[in-house]
Amino acid sequence: MAMTHVKRPLRRLCWAVSFCIAVVPCVAQEKGTMQSSSASETAASPSSENSRVEVAPGLVLPEKGMVWILDQADNQPKLERIYLNDGRLNRHLAENVVRSQLLVFRMSTGIELKGTAAKLRVSSKTPAVFIHKSEEDEEESQSPANAKGVHAHYALLRLRIADDSRVICTFTSWQLGIKAGRHEDVMGVLTEELNGQWLKITPKGALPDGEFVITRLPDDKKLFESHVYDFGIGTAAKQATDH
């Protein structure tokens, strides 16, 4: 009888030991798998530290905001955000009516910004512009007409002052059915990709004082993107108009 009572605890002890022996390797294997998976995920997804882009000593591009410009004031670099502005269509109706009466078959329209000067002024003649590449920002920067299926590239344009507006581009058309054309003052730039998330646009030479925009310029000369990012270099010739 005593032997029977002794055997039962021994059997339970053996069963417990066998269970522990079987489970411990499984737990260790699972733990190793989780650590391996965690390590691979960390390697696959870049950390926020690795995705930071330093554009000058101590100056890092912010995570929010699509377009930023690097200025130099008093030998100190600083980043300024350029905000989205909307161009408006000027059909020059009065001028075109006069031209038609004088049998001048050339008609013109323009895309313009309200006011003769941008609010944002920079001092540097060779400012670097940084554009955040994300689908959300890209969609925000495009007008509905050009949101889908329109091939375009980022360009730096110099604007012309006309009355109380800044002219981004003009379209010329002819009453005789000759194809219309778009005209704008494109500045030469160097474009490079940074960290797969940003585009850096730098003028090839020193820019003159004046008004400028960064915009997505459609390859089709019959189209234009009315959403632009405007800034000025030097002191504004006239008081900037709110927009």
Bridge partner residues of 13 (DSSP): none
pLDDT digits over 38-76, tens only?
334 433 344 455 568 999 999 999 988 999 999 998 889
Alpha-carbon distance of 48 to 133, in angstroms, equals: 16
Indicate whether 241 belongs to any domain: no
Same domain, 67 and 30: no
Alpha-carbon distance of 243 to 233, in angstroms, equals: 18
pLDDT digits over 10-49, tens only?
344 343 334 333 333 333 343 344 343 333 443 334 445 5
Indicate whether 123 belongs to any domain: yes
Single-letter code of the amino acid located at 49: E
Indicate whether 242 belongs to any domain: no
Q: Is the pTM of this model over 0.85?
A: no
**Cβ atoms 146, 186 nearer than 8 A:** no
Query: Domain of 179?
Result: 54-233
Indicate whether 217 belongs to any domain: yes
The radius of gyration of the chain from alpha carbons, rounded to an integer in Å, stands at: 32
Q: What is the pLDDT of residue 52?
A: 84
pLDDT for residue 127 is more than 90: yes
Alpha-carbon distance of 190 to 106, in angstroms, equals: 35
Same domain, 32 and 62: no
Give just the sign of the alpha carbon dihedral 85, 189, 182, 137.
Answer: negative
Same domain, 63 and 30: no
Q: 113 phi and psi, to 5 degrees?
A: -105, 140
Same domain, 36 and 124: no
Same domain, 26 and 108: no
Indicate whether 243 belongs to any domain: no
- Helices H / strands E in the chain, number of each: 3, 18
How many folded domains does the chain comprise? 2
Unique residue bearing structure tokens 């522990």: 20
pLDDT for residue 121 is more than 60: yes
Same domain, 95 and 144: yes
Q: What is the pLDDT of residue 98?
A: 43
pLDDT digits over 167-218, tens only?
999 988 765 555 568 899 999 999 999 988 999 999 999 999 999 999 999 9
Indicate whether 240 belongs to any domain: no
